[in-house]
Amino acid sequence: MIEYGRVLCIAGESEPLEKTELEAARIASLSGGRLILLNVVEKWRNSDFVTTDSPEWKAVHESWLAEAMELLDKKEELLRTQGLYSIKKVVRSGEKAFETISVAVEQNVDMIVIPNYHSWSIKGFLANSFTNDIIANSPCPVLWVNE
């Protein structure tokens, strides 16, 4: 059996992401590895045109990061009830594919697990820039979990 010491997945509240989290947790558990849950706050990046360096915008950004960590805390609690104890939580602000690859490199990840949102068609798959960016730039194997 191939061992994956560090398995990275994006955490979220959609059904495809939750399914992906469970699959990533299963792989990490089977190989005695660590699950790295990543939550990328894209709101800040998407609001670049209106943000400033004011204390008010800093507070907004900090609240978004805190919400992202709260989500990861809930995910960690759920996964611990299922027997997975080696979990690392990472919150980033930026573009999802870029931050995913950055974390994979920084954490020396052995596998990235992502949802295959468009598993039903090649055309849909090719249109998904997140998936394409991950595949093209991943430093390790990528597993797609079908919806």
Give residue 54's pLDDT: 80
Evaluate whether residue 119 is within a structural domain: no
- Tell me how far apart the alpha carbons of residues 135 and 131 are, in angstroms, rounded to a whole number: 6
Evaluate whether residue 20 is within a structural domain: yes
**How many domains does the chain contain in total?**
1
Q: Give me the torsion for CA of 118, 122, 123, 129, rounded to 10°.
A: 60
Evaluate whether residue 136 is within a structural domain: yes
Give residue 1's pLDDT: 54
What is the value of pTM for the model shown? 0.86
Evaluate whether residue 18 is within a structural domain: yes
Question: Torsions phi, psi of 114, nearest 5?
Answer: -130, 155
Give residue 4's pLDDT: 85
Per-residue pLDDT of the chain (147 residues; tens, 9 = 90+): 567 899 999 999 988 899 999 999 999 998 889 999 999 998 766 565 566 678 888 888 899 999 999 999 999 999 999 888 899 999 999 999 999 999 999 999 999 999 876 545 555 555 568 888 999 999 999 998 886
Evaluate whether residue 47 is within a structural domain: yes
Range of the domain at 20: 6-114+129-146
Give residue 34's pLDDT: 95
Which is it for strands 142-146 and 111-116: parallel, antiparallel or unpaired? parallel
Token reading at 41: 């706050």
- Tell me how far apart the alpha carbons of residues 118 and 115 are, in angstroms, rounded to a whole number: 9
Residue 91's domain is classified under what CATH number? 3.40.50.620
Strands (E), 11-140: 34-41, 87-93, 111-116
Evaluate whether residue 72 is within a structural domain: yes
Give residue 69's pLDDT: 97
Evaluate whether residue 13 is within a structural domain: yes
Give residue 143's pLDDT: 94
